[in-house]
Amino acid sequence: MSQMTSSIEAPSNGFGQSLEAKPTPAPLRLGKTTALGLIGTVAIVVGAVLGGRNYETHLPGAWFFGMPGGLFGSLGSNSNYPPVYAVIGVFGGLILLTRVWLSLMRQLRARPGFPVRKVVLVVALWAVPLLLAPPLFSRDVYSYAGQGEMVSHHINPYDYGTGVLGVTPFSTLPDPIWTKTPTPYGPTFLAIDGGLTKLSGHEILPDLVLLRLLEVASLALIMAALPTLARSMRRDPAETVLLGAGCPLVLMSLVGGAHNDALMIALLVAGLALAQRRRMVPGIILCALAAGVKSPAALGVLFLGWVWAGREAKVTQRLLHTVAAGVIGLLTMEVMAVVSGTGWGWLKTSTAADQSFTDTTPIDAVARFCNLVGDVIRVHIPLLGTRTVLSVIGLIIAGVIGLWLLHRAPYDGVPRTLGLTLLLVALLGPILWSWYITWGVIVLAPAASPTLRRFLIALITFETFVGASKVDTFLRTLYQNGLLGTLITIAALFALVIIPLAPFSRWHLPTLRWPTGRGTASLVPTTPHTD
């Protein structure tokens, strides 16, 4: 009898090996996670305001507080380099937020089927301080406001820069590069942009608020679409949402920086989600609208057209369906060109931003290295010429690999192949800003294998910190703050890196409670996936 009991307690797998049940993970409580992430984003905002023009525009009238002449305007630094406490606030907050995010990723990995809405609420609470903060780490949203003002007055942004508006906040707050440079954005964005400017009463601050709310609404659409794609790729929806939409890079660049990439990606993933539900034509239309924000999203039309005919279709069928998708996309773009009143001028201005150096673009890094080697060996290697050649080579490589991924799309899935292509376009393109990485990260999140997930996490972490400050600026800041200031900064940041977060689990925080009821869908993937 004891032997029978033993065999029941230790069942066999049929090959003479006993199977032991894995311990069930403890219930996941999100109070500590929410609180620590919120502390991180509050520290980032406070540090950015104290750091002044090093982390935000810091021009009069640029935000409701923290600017010269405004509420708490004396707090921000006008120095070329931020003070020690501002650096610790920004980068310390980023370290804390990243660690909390990684911890939650690990916990969700051990608990497949965790409710998506709980993850969404945690991320939303993390984002609250960023909603109240001035635009962080970039002045692009001011250029959006200026271009919206132009559209609202029937001035074509494809012909002029914001300088045509004269001396107004709509022309003085954007980066000087946009005063004479036409916009690279498509008619979808300009139509919405002009409408928001009219809604704001042509006032800069209400316009900025509306533009940020547009990106927040776009992030909400991303969170709504990702679970559908995750289930189609047999991934966990909650983990997918946290990786793609709740990572620090997305929070900093798409919420804190209010970049219109959020709108582009939202329309793109929504189109992919509709296509996954066998609504291919509406999906293609949404991808075309996304391309009307930024041109890389046009790849979504191409990939959906290629898989439209089905997995076993012949090449001729795929080509016909791809042409049909292209026609749908062109008609959609024509409608938006008419609605916005700007026409097709964006085709000649879509590369307007490619003339600047970011120092973290692989193309720029190699070009500068070649130029440095030329100086050492006393051979003239022109920086701009080398950059141009390398940019062409990079795009050719991305194109060749992209074509192979397009061929694999019917078998590997559009999220995986399109996401990798977008990531290649960003990394091998002539210009790379940290928010460009979000294109591929968000689309890839529903299809990320463990190896790819680790790569994405490393890339997200690197670009999050680079996006907050240029590497050379950060190093110069440490130098300018002197030996004592540098030691304090390094010690504080290092402590935040190594301090254990586990003891904080002893906090007696109130448990977040969630309404339950009928109609709640199961979030467990229909078929378990083994990598």
Instruction: Dump pLDDT digits (tens) for 112-171.
Output: 889 999 999 999 999 999 999 999 988 999 999 999 999 999 999 998 889 899 889 999
Q: How far is CA 421 from CA 18, 162, 400, 425, in A?
A: 44, 33, 10, 6
**Phi, psi (degrees; rounded to nearest 5) at 250:** -65, -45
Could you tell me the two tokens for 208? Answer: 């900025």
Lowest-confidence segment of 60-74, 160-174, 243-257, 401-415 by average pLDDT = 60-74
pLDDT of 233 > 80? The answer is yes
Q: What percent of the chain has pLDDT over 70?
A: 83
Cβ partners under 8 Å of residue 528, min gap 6: 234
Amino acid (one-letter) located at 259? H
4-16: per-residue pLDDT in tens? 333 333 333 333 3
334: DSSP letter: H
Confidence of residue 19 (pLDDT cuts 50, 70, 90): very low
Does 75 reside within a domain? yes
Lowest-confidence segment of 177-181, 271-275, 440-444 by average pLDDT = 177-181
Does 38 reside within a domain? yes
Cβ partners under 8 Å of residue 348, min gap 6: 158
Lowest-confidence segment of 207-211, 296-300, 364-368, 458-462 by average pLDDT = 364-368
pLDDT at 74: 60
Full residue range of the structural domain in which residue 67 is found: 30-134+470-505
Could you tell me the two tokens for 229? Answer: 């794609």
pLDDT of 524 > 50? The answer is no
pLDDT of 401 > 90? The answer is yes
pLDDT of 361 > 80? The answer is no
Confidence of residue 24 (pLDDT cuts 50, 70, 90): low
Q: What is the average pLDDT value for the chain, to the nearest integer?
A: 83
pLDDT at 400: 93
pLDDT of 471 > 90? The answer is no
CB distance 433 to 467 below 8 Å: yes
pLDDT at 195: 94
Does 330 reside within a domain? no
Does 483 reside within a domain? yes
Could you tell me the two tokens for 456? Answer: 């994405």
d(CA 41, CA 53): 19
Does 495 reside within a domain? yes
Amino acid (one-letter) located at 328? I
pLDDT at 21: 47
> In DSSP terms, which residues pair with 65 in a beta bridge?
71
d(CA 101, CA 37): 8
Query: CB neighbours (10 Å) of residue 427?
Result: 17
Lowest-confidence segment of 57-61, 141-145, 203-207, 216-220 by average pLDDT = 57-61
Does 15 reside within a domain? no
CB distance 137 to 467 below 8 Å: yes
pLDDT at 10: 38
Between helix 298-307 and helix 414-428 the angle, nearest 10°, is 150
What is the domain count for the chain?
Answer: 1
Q: How far out from the chain centre does Cα 486 lie?
A: 31
422-467: per-residue pLDDT in tens? 999 999 887 888 899 999 999 999 998 899 999 999 999 999 988 8
pLDDT of 397 > 80? The answer is yes
Question: What's the whole-number mean pLDDT along residues 52-58?
Answer: 81
pLDDT of 490 > 90? The answer is no
d(CA 499, CA 100): 12
pLDDT at 71: 62
Q: What percent of the chain has pLDDT over 90?
A: 51
Q: What is the CA radius of gyration of the chain?
A: 25
Residue of 252, 243, 239, 333 whose CA lies nearest to 286: 333
Torsion of CA 147, 244, 269, 217, to 10 degrees: -50
pLDDT at 77: 63
Does 92 reside within a domain? yes
With b for 16 or more beta-carbon neighbours within 10 A and e for fewer, the 429-455 pattern comes to bbbbbbbbbbbbbbbbbbbbeeebbee
Question: What's the whole-number mean pLDDT along residues 346-371?
Answer: 69
Question: What's the whole-number mean pLDDT along residues 384-389?
Answer: 77
Does 436 reside within a domain? no
